[in-house]
Structure 1
């Protein structure tokens, strides 16, 4: 069988090409499409087809229906709870007007303790089922007693908020100081309990924990003594009038002069005098920093030191300060004219 040779030209040779890309390539698309004119024909109206049940009126109606359907349950709930809310507010106002503060505090404390007891009973029952021992339960109770507030919150309701405002307005400075100290002590106990739990999880032994507690207790006692001394000094300063400032300044000058004489007699003034006033200022600044540190960071004034022993210690410790001031002010040569030397 002989195969004829291929034609020299395609079958479409000589045909007029179609220049419309939409019609010419309809087989590449989903089907033939009729091109739309760019502008409407004159004296004609173009209608855009709209599905039935849609349009501006239908959209407004659907939005209103959706909003009504959304807020209908909310309105029903508010209508059902309005009576309960009104009764609760009325009860709180009645308690505020009829109960005394002591009666209200006692009632809230009893309710709070009852709630805590019920919660602890449920927790004991749940942990007892998983094998908690009596020692573990006692330890957990001790931690819960420290971490749990001792009383109900004042901001639970309107009555508690009114009581809180009344307490803050009528409390004295002593009451406020006692309240803040109790809050600091409670925060300290809670922080220590959390630290104990973290260190126990890290492997701390009971002996190490007892040693650390003893060190913390001694440090707290020392801080308490320092605070008490500062409070006594602050109270004593409050009683001093403005006329005592001259006496305090005179006492400061006398004690500083005695320290400067001691620095000259020991040769400290003669040693730093060739360096000039800048060396004197440097020595005075260094001695003043040490002096402030020893006087509780300046909380104890020089004129407030009493007693022969503390005065001798103060004079000896302030020798560098006084010597530096003498050299910086240029009065070091005057010590040679004193009858003591």
Structure 2
């Protein structure tokens, strides 16, 4: 087998120009004629800076130049807005500012409603549908503009809170609660109407809501009357009289517990069982007395008194066992 001689030219002959003969194998890497010499060093004049990447200071300056322009524009706008708000605080009274904001708010709502009516009228909204939509919008949309979220709104809020009396605070919270309840019910009406609720079902639901509102109003009026009567009689003698009445009613309940056999039943358990029973009975007692808003000494009529004494038997019996006075009932002439 004969070995062929080596090739006389490289495999890439003809790609970079004419064949370079034997230079790639004999005389080393010589640049063929016709190709640029990339190894030639280009001299730099004396005093000239070498060409290279920009410095960190130049890059930072190029990066922050647009941001600096935006910040300057925003600072000017913010300064003008703050100046306008300070001018409003200095030149307008609170009543004038509220009146102006109310007029602007009503004009904005009127424009929005007109645009909505025109848009829905083009797609075939009837008069009845428009009236129902207006009713829901009137409930969901507050009649007065909300609190501003700028400097003027903050100053007005602080002024209102500083000068607000307890009666004003109570009225404001009740108005906010009533408005929120109306909004929730309007949203419920709209959701149930979309789900297929009939007018008869809606009327029945509204009647139940009105009855619940009436009951809540009566309960609130009763609580306010009770609170007003407490404010009139707040002397030390009244507190002493209420304490004596509480002790008498609790003693009567404890006697009832001994007569029914509850005290002898829990006496072997010791003070711990007595405290446990007293705690459970106290929770029931608080629930019956409007979560403790009605005091024990404020119950007057015979019927409520009998109910209160019977309901407080577990409390009194548990206290008698926990304090260790249960054996005293056996010495009473009643038993």
TM score, norm. by length of structure 1: 0.73
Partner of 1:202: 195
**1:322 Cα offset (Å):** 2.1
From 100, 109, 113, the equivalent of 1:107 is: 100
Cα distance between partner residues in 2 of 1:246 and 1:329: 22
The C-alpha deviation readout for 1:308-336, integer Å capped at 9, x for no partner, is 22222211222232233334444333223
Q: Unaligned 5+ residue runs, structure 1? A: 1-6, 13-24, 35-45
Cα distance between partner residues in 2 of 1:107 and 1:65: 47
Secondary structure at the residue paired with 2:300?
A: coil
**1:160 Cα offset (Å):** 4.2
The C-alpha deviation readout for 1:149-182, integer Å capped at 9, x for no partner, is 2122331654444333322221211112111111
1:33-182 mapped onto 2 (5 Å cutoff)? 54-56=51-53, 70=66, 74=70, 86=80, 92-155=85-148, 158-182=151-175
The C-alpha deviation readout for 1:120-166, integer Å capped at 9, x for no partner, is 11111111001011111111111111111212233165444433332
Cα distance between partner residues in 1 of 2:134 and 2:84: 35
Cα distance between partner residues in 1 of 2:58 and 2:329: 105
Partner of 1:309: 303
**1:201 Cα offset (Å):** 2.0
Cα distance between partner residues in 2 of 1:177 and 1:325: 38
From 206, 214, 217, the equivalent of 2:207 is: 214
Partner of 1:223: 216
Cα distance between partner residues in 2 of 1:190 and 1:280: 49
Cα distance between partner residues in 1 of 2:113 and 2:84: 29
Cα distance between partner residues in 1 of 2:72 and 2:268: 95
From 266, 272, 291, the equivalent of 2:285 is: 291
The number of equivalent residue pairs is: 306
Is residue 322 from structure 1 mapped to residue 319 from structure 2 by the alignment?
no
Cα distance between partner residues in 1 of 2:97 and 2:129: 36
The C-alpha deviation readout for 1:22-54, integer Å capped at 9, x for no partner, is xxx997xx99896xxxxxxxxxxx97999x994
In structure 2, the CA distance between the partners of 1:64 and 1:327, relative to structure 1 (3 Å rule), is: closer
Partner of 1:337: 331
1:249-260 mapped onto 2 (5 Å cutoff)? 249-260=243-254
